[in-house]
Amino acid sequence: MTATDPAMTALAAGWCALSLLHGRIEAHLERALQDGHGLSVREFSLLDVLSRQHDGEGGHLQMKQVADAVVLSQSATTRLVTRLEERGLLSRYLCPTDRRGIYTDVTAAGADLLAAARPTGDAALREALGRAAADPRLAPLVAAVEHIGGPVPA
């Protein structure tokens, strides 16, 4: 395979389109969440992931699982948790069954902020996907995103 191989060129073009779609969506979400709620996309994602924890079997996430869910390194996730904890949006506590483990929960203030920010995030995502669907390079990717996620409520 050479650098001018049509299969490689198509693969690279697909990767560039995917990267472009991601960048456009993330930038649009970032502006909407920052302007409306003082949250970054990463902060919003972290609050969202942690808000879905429950008290049942396997309901609380370890930091590695949280990092995987928000697509950050463990150290970056820990720094993000610390920043949100300092803002009063998260709290940490020791795992009751394994004193080495530390769990993180969303505080009432964090839950309130997330509840207020969710409609903004949803609307911004719909808007970004709508704009991207008008771009012929991105339309197939938007269709794939919509197909994977199922029907998107208006």
Question: How does pLDDT run along the chain (154 residues), one tens digit per residue?
Answer: 556 677 768 888 889 999 999 999 999 999 999 999 999 999 999 999 999 987 777 778 888 889 999 999 999 999 999 999 999 999 998 877 777 778 899 999 999 999 999 999 999 999 999 999 999 999 999 999 988 977 656 5
Tell me which residue of 9, 22, 7 sits closest to 138, measured CA to CA. 22
> What pLDDT is recorded for position 96?
76
**What residue ranges in 36-153 does DSSP mark as E strands?**
90-94, 102-106
Q: What is the three-class DSSP state of 65? A: helix
Compute the distance between CA of residue 37 and CA of residue 124 in angstroms, rounded to an integer.
Answer: 13
Return the DSSP state at 4.
Answer: T
> What pLDDT is recorded for position 2?
59
> What pLDDT is recorded for position 69?
92
CB distance 117 to 44 below 8 Å = yes
Structure-token pair, residue 125:
């995502």
> What pLDDT is recorded for position 59?
78
Of the candidate CATH numbers 3.90.550.60, 3.40.50.10860, 1.10.10.10, 3.30.365.10, the domain formed by 9-149 belongs to 1.10.10.10
CB distance 63 to 102 below 8 Å = yes
> What pLDDT is recorded for position 3?
60
> What pLDDT is recorded for position 124?
97
> What pLDDT is recorded for position 57?
72
> What pLDDT is recorded for position 47?
97
**What residue ranges in 13-148 does DSSP mark as E strands?**
90-94, 102-106
Tell me which residue of 46, 139, 137 sits closest to 90, measured CA to CA. 46
CB distance 45 to 70 below 8 Å = yes
Where do the structural domains in the chain lie, given as residue ranges? 9-149
